[in-house]
Amino acid sequence: MKILVCISHVPDTTSKINFTEGDTKFDTNGVQFVINPNDEFGLTRAMWFKEKQGATVTVVNVGGPETEPTLRKALAIGADEAIRVNTEATDGFAVAKQLTKVIQDGGYDLVIAGRESIDYNGGMVPGMIAGLTNANFVNNCISLEIEGTNATATREIDGGKETVTTALPLVIGGQKGLVEESDLRIPNMRGIMMARKKPLQVVEPVTTESETTSVSFEKPAPKGAVTLVAPDNLDELVSLLHNEAKVI
């Protein structure tokens, strides 16, 4: 089984979010970048398929050279090879088009992407590549088993979960649950050394157009101070929630 894991290069979850160039660009100054958490759950599940079922695992990112350390980290975790599509990720559709070319060229059976990136939160790339490559698609996937060309997956639904069966070729929008937090792997020294020698192929982008354009960013208005209520005066809290906030 050939697995492709799509890796977004995103600011660490604790990063302060600021913008530059007239609030049109994310300010990367002093920001540490990581593998998108939703992708990391998928990558770790892919490692399981590699170790237990002999799958090969390729990781891919659409982005400039600055994203390569993130791909190297995925190689250090255990992916076999990496591909970087050498273009700026402008919108979800453009990224999906670039990934579609990689998928068609590589003939992957299973594509695992995070349900959304934690920076742009578009939540559209996995579904779009499924649509563009005519593959089956399971979103918000929290468990995945592959048996031959058959797949059994569980997806989170509002208020519960649902188990589905489908077949390869398959695209997964993955999240926590594919593996547990405690299953995530921190690259060890051997992994990091090996990652240096693993192939990282840079491919040129296909011509495509963005269907959407990011014009600018805004930060939420600063919040007012909290209204403290004494623990022995909860009547006041009930009254504030009813009369002032009007939420009960």
Span interacting with another protein, options 53-61, 79-87, 129-137, 185-193, rule CB under 8 A: 129-137
Minimum distance from residue 55 beta carbon to another protein (Å): 21
Instruction: Give 56 or 136: the residue with its C-beta nearer to another protein.
Output: 136
Phi (first) and psi of residue 2, to 5 degrees = -100, 120
For residues 216 and 23, is the Cβ–Cβ distance under 8 A? yes
Instruction: Give 202 or 238: the residue with its C-beta nearer to another protein.
Output: 238
Which DSSP state fits 182? G
Of 159, 186, 189, 243, which one interacts with another protein (CB under 8 A)?
Answer: 159
Instruction: Give 132 or 194: the residue with its C-beta nearer to another protein.
Output: 132
**x/- contact string, 87-126, with another protein (CB under 8 A)?**
----xxx--x---------------------xxxxxxxxx
Instruction: Give 67 or 175: the residue with its C-beta nearer to another protein.
Output: 175
For residues 5 and 179, is the Cβ–Cβ distance under 8 A? no
d(CA 100, CA 191): 29
**x/- contact string, 58-77, with another protein (CB under 8 A)?**
--------------------
Minimum distance from residue 217 beta carbon to another protein (Å): 5
For residues 44 and 180, is the Cβ–Cβ distance under 8 A? no
Span interacting with another protein, options 47-55, 72-80, 165-173, 185-193, rule CB under 8 A: 165-173
Within residues 172-231, the interface with another protein by CB under 8 A covers 173, 175-177, 180-182, 209-220, 223-224, 226-231
- Could you give the angle at the alpha carbon of 172 between the alpha carbons of 122 and 165, nearest 5°? 135
Instruction: Give 184 or 200: the residue with its C-beta nearer to another protein.
Output: 184
- Could you give the angle at the alpha carbon of 165 between the alpha carbons of 160 and 167, nearest 5°? 140
Is-cis flag, bond preceding 199, omega within 30? no
Q: Does 78 bind another protein (CB under 8 A)?
A: no
Which DSSP state fits 219? P
**x/- contact string, 7-26, with another protein (CB under 8 A)?**
----x-xx--x-x-------
Half-sphere exposure for 125 (CA within 13 Å, toward CB): 32
Cα 236 versus chain centre, distance = 43
Instruction: Give 149 or 201: the residue with its C-beta nearer to another protein.
Output: 149
Minimum distance from residue 145 beta carbon to another protein (Å): 12
Instruction: Give 204 or 233: the residue with its C-beta nearer to another protein.
Output: 233
Letter string b/e over residues 65-98, b meaning 16 or more CB atoms within 10 A of that residue's CB: eebbebbbbbbbbbbebbbbbebebbbbbbbbbb
